[in-house]
Structure 1
Amino acid sequence: MKRIIMLTILLFILVGCSTPIEYETASNIRIEDEIIKWDAVEDAISYEVTLNETLYTLSIPSYDISELINGSYTVRITIIYPEGYKKSIDYDFDISRLYQSPTDLLVDDYILSFTSTIPTTYELYINDILKTSFEETSIDISDYVVLNQDSNIKVNAIYESQDYMSDVYIFDGLIHLDMNQSLTYELRSSETIIVNFDQLDDLMYIKIDDEILADTLYSYTSTSITFDKDIFFYPSYGLNTYEVYTASGYFMITINVIETENPHLLSPNVLTYISLEDIELEFNLLGGTFAQLSGYLLETSDYTFEDGTLTIYASYIESILAENPDRENIAFSYQLQKNGNSYIGIIFIYL
């Protein structure tokens, strides 16, 4: 009997003196890279997150909130312990992202793509007219633009009833056809030039230097374009590129206009200045001489002529730009001589 009493007392002491388990709530709650995180709990079986009245069961102490829209939220984080014990804590947080309008608009083979950080629906505007809505950051626009016509394209992102409109992207609607041709023409030739093709769709117009060529200077059939010889008094010596626009796209015809008797400029007479690079132009003197070059504030030390090459120094161009940063071009005149005759030409440099 005494032994039974002693065992009962010992059991009472052991039970009465044991330390109760203290269940922890989530601690060190923070947001990193749009992920709610908290410190892992050693005895936890799993975690639960309750957000917007929806319960999510997790195996790791974190929850992705990147798909939530801007606003204020309360999330309940629950630690699940053995035998079903739970400890919860509420955590309040705000999302206030700063969004930008779509950028980097680009059209490649009629596919419009752009950059956007806004997870939303987008609207396509062509010439300020709403054409369609879509959800990806790219869209086929072939059904919304007109061939060979400029289209002003904008993309609007709508987020929380606010518009984020992109800048205008100008798309020329052109398809470059694989029909380019190159040929040479001697200035004094009396012949016309016929350019042949396997198939030529309806020709709309021809341009050179952004000007439409008079249709009296050429004719065409379904397989050829015939240029009148008078066309070659319009361009300069050297390479001249004609843009041919048809009902299905455009292509280039490059004509190298040469002179076989008198001194002349071989290089194109219209150039674009590249910062800090000298400008070089090739001449064919054919036994003649380079007499002079004239231009705005131009000194003989600003250029050289050696072995048929005229070099205009970049330092001269830079000095003109320093004087007037808004200047758009510089014009030069040159004079060549042969057998007592002078041949004068013009050079345009776009800045």
Structure 2
Amino acid sequence: MKRSLLIIVLLFTLILSACSRGVGLDRLDKPIGLTVYKNTISFGAIYNADKYIFNANGINIETEEPFLELTEEGIYNVRVKAVGEGYLDSLFSDMVKVTVKYLSVPTDIELDGNEIIYSGDPDADSFVIEIDGVEYNSETDDLPKLEPGTYMVRIKAVSSVYIDSDYSELVELKYRYLNPPTLINVVNGVLTYLKDPNASYHIIEINGVEYDTRTQIVPLFTPGEYAIRIKSMSDTYIDSEFSEMLNIIIDENDLIQTSHSYTYSLFSHFDLPLFTYYMRSVNQFEFYRLIEDEETEEIKKEAVDTKYLYILENTVYLKSEYLNILKSIQKMDKQSVFTFELQTNAGQHTITINLSDDEKPYIYSDKNIKTNFHDDIVFGFDLFGAEFVSVSGNGIKDTDYVFEGGILTIKVEYIIRTFQENSARDNIILTYRFEGKIQNQDGTSKSITYLGFISIKK
């Protein structure tokens, strides 16, 4: 009984001691008026407080000053209480919601005409654009009109709610006048000119009619009189003036002048097509081998017997018999490149023939061909028993080409469409693929893939 009474007395004493600890202590004021600016929560200092305990999403963070800066992105529910020695902790403040977000750095800074454009964070209130060290706010300042010149530009995103981005890297922007095209001429019925490398497209005026090279095809030049001028255009630079007017007369007797580079394998046996005339009839020809004198470096013409050439369907062919003669020269003189001049009643053509010792599918015609935007383009192959598989690259589809009898035809509709989709493009590069078999030493065979490239130039 005495033991029970003793325990009761001790418990009562402990309770009284615990209750007496806060007796007579004042409670610190509750923090009020919490304000949120971007990622910082602040309020007026509490009198007699030594520190503050912020509770953010259930995690306590202790500070000595009446503010807290959150550094990790996220959404936070925050409240705070004041703590001071000799005082009861204050009550927690009311809850505030804080969204912490870092704005992304602007990208894709470039010129559109004389206007600076860029991609920016959609949550930004505005952007600070620094041009040659001078800052302009996109909402409150008038950006200067750029005069032709070079500018160093960087941009940052700013906001009253979110954390400002860093400045972008400095970008050099050149705003300048384009030069009009030069060396304008009509060659083989096709308009040629030297363009400003910064031009995106051109306006071509022919006898008063304007053609936009992004969407329109310049017609072939048939015999007649033409007045031609061209101006350079761009979405980035200042358009040029029109070039000087070129007045030209195209005569029906004007000769076509071309250059070609062909390949012929030592293991091939076909007659090599040298040139095909699409708009003129050919009925006369002369063929010369061009030989450089080793001492004088002069080029001498050696006539090739016309028995080694013939015309079929307006195409001039070089017979395999003469190509076999070149093979003999190649073996004796170790010469593998031969240059010729073909002269016909319709044109003059410089032709280089490269002899190769490959016994695999190859393209014997030009690998790089310039389009006139009116005719299909044709490439010739010697297959050596391999099978054609496909042409790929630059969005070409099965319906855009035909392969038959060793001839690959790229349709002009595909060529026009592809160049119009990107007016700044200068060429289209395509990959062709063949599958064949080769014999192993043990008499078995294995499959092999052959790849090559062709180019269509504007």
TM-score range for the pair, normalised by the shorter chain length = 0.3 to 0.5
Normalized against structure 1, the TM-score is what? 0.35
Larger Rg: 2
